[in-house]
Amino acid sequence: MIRFKAFCLALVLGAAGTGTGWADGFGHDKVQTFATLPEGVRFPEGIAANPHNGDVFVATFDFGPNLNKLLRYDRHGRLEAVRDFGGTPMLGLAFGPKDGKVYIANFGASQIQRISAHFTAGTLTQTVVALPSIGAPANRAEGNPDGSSDTIQFGSNAFPAPNAMQFDEAGNLYVSDSFQGAIYRIASAHSCQAPCPVTTVVHSPLLATAGFPPFGANGLALSKDGTSLFVANTGDDRILRVDLATSEVTVFAESVNGADGIAFDRRGTLWVAANQSDEIVGLDAQGRIIERLGGFEGIRHGTPDGLLFPASVVIVGGDLYVTNLALPLTGAAGDEWEEDVSRWTVSRVRLPRR
């Protein structure tokens, strides 16, 4: 899939010629660069924040030796610490509200790990649990407008692919598995003795995908009352809802292009990183898009201007922080703006005040 952004680029180049500035460093789309990753550190994916001091944690999803890092920034975007993870790519991060640790979805090791939120280069990590190999879910039937249906078969993939995490108020940790189409729960993750017991909450064909990008169950967010878990299915462009009492999975929203990281704000709007349309969309209680923020506006000095493949989000106060993964996926040279990126960024998006 190739994303065409020439129209957006033309707009920003035209605007740039006017010399118009934007108040408080924010553009008309309310996006600014919060931090630029160190030179040679690529593909920021996971993000979490310490609500007590505003520290922002970023994990990278790179492949190759000595490439992946866990980064800690202060609330002003100044780099405080770097922990090397070598050739092990990471996806989601979560801040433990009861133990003050950073939880890591270690994709390369198929593990959930944790580390002190005040980590330095030499701080040790602890493995919480290795996720189980449960295999692909059952086949899925998808209806067609003419009344017929197609059957999607997910093969025999049994690689546990931890992606996103979400704590509930009791300290239980929910984890999405993008390849096996599952949601797990680690009870009392803050106090369990490693290896902690893990329970499969749901294993459903709705949580897997045959689409693009090839990640099924991804971003997680709990409803305010804690009864429903919302799940982004990236390849299917959907937001799903899991009833935690019955494990029933239903479709909440369709056609969110590359639905990735998600988070609820205080007003109940569900913010979704649409990684294939380079924007953040806000959904209301009925799953309707009521806000669009951001957009891609070109490459400036090797860094994205605006959002480019926004992956994970975290809300701190009235701001939403988002990693610009900027990962080329098509494999065809010259097709994607991501190929022109030489320095990767984390953006801050000011949420609307309503």
Q: How confident is the model at residue 330 (pLDDT cuts 50, 70, 90)?
A: confident
Q: How many CB atoms within 10 Å of residue 88? A: 18
Considering the domain boundaries, does residue 154 fall inside one? Answer: no
Q: Among the listed ranges 110-114, 133-137, 198-202, 236-240, which one has the minimum average pLDDT value?
A: 133-137
pLDDT at 12 over 80: no
Q: How confident is the model at residue 129 (pLDDT cuts 50, 70, 90)?
A: very high
Span 296-307, average pLDDT: 95
Report field, pTM of the whole predicted structure over 0.95? no
Q: Domain of residue 14: give its range.
A: 1-36+258-354
- Predicted local distance difference test score (pLDDT) of residue 104: 98
Q: How confident is the model at residue 334 (pLDDT cuts 50, 70, 90)?
A: confident
Considering the domain boundaries, does residue 170 fall inside one? Answer: no
| pLDDT, tens only, 222-266 | 999 999 999 999 999 999 999 999 999 999 999 999 999 999 999
- pLDDT, mean over the chain: 90
Span 191-219, average pLDDT: 95
Tell me how far CA of residue 98 lies from CA of 65, 70, 74, 314, 338, in angstroms.
34, 21, 21, 18, 38
Considering the domain boundaries, does residue 333 fall inside one? Answer: yes
Considering the domain boundaries, does residue 118 fall inside one? Answer: no
Considering the domain boundaries, does residue 334 fall inside one? Answer: yes
Q: How many domains does the chain have?
A: 1
Q: How confident is the model at residue 13 (pLDDT cuts 50, 70, 90)?
A: very low
Considering the domain boundaries, does residue 296 fall inside one? Answer: yes
- Predicted local distance difference test score (pLDDT) of residue 333: 72
Q: How confident is the model at residue 156 (pLDDT cuts 50, 70, 90)?
A: confident
Phi-psi region of 309 (alpha: psi -120 to 50; beta: other; left: phi over 0): left
- Record the tokens describing residue 37, joined without a space: 């990753």
Considering the domain boundaries, does residue 219 fall inside one? Answer: no
Contact yes or no for 34/77 (Cβ under 8 A) = yes
Name the pairing type of β-strands 345-350 and 173-177: unpaired
| Percent of the chain at pLDDT exceeding 70 | 91
DSSP characters over 152-164: E--TT-----EEE
Considering the domain boundaries, does residue 133 fall inside one? Answer: no
With helix as H, strand as E and coil as C, how does 25-47 read? Answer: HCCCCCEEEEEECCCCCCCEEEE
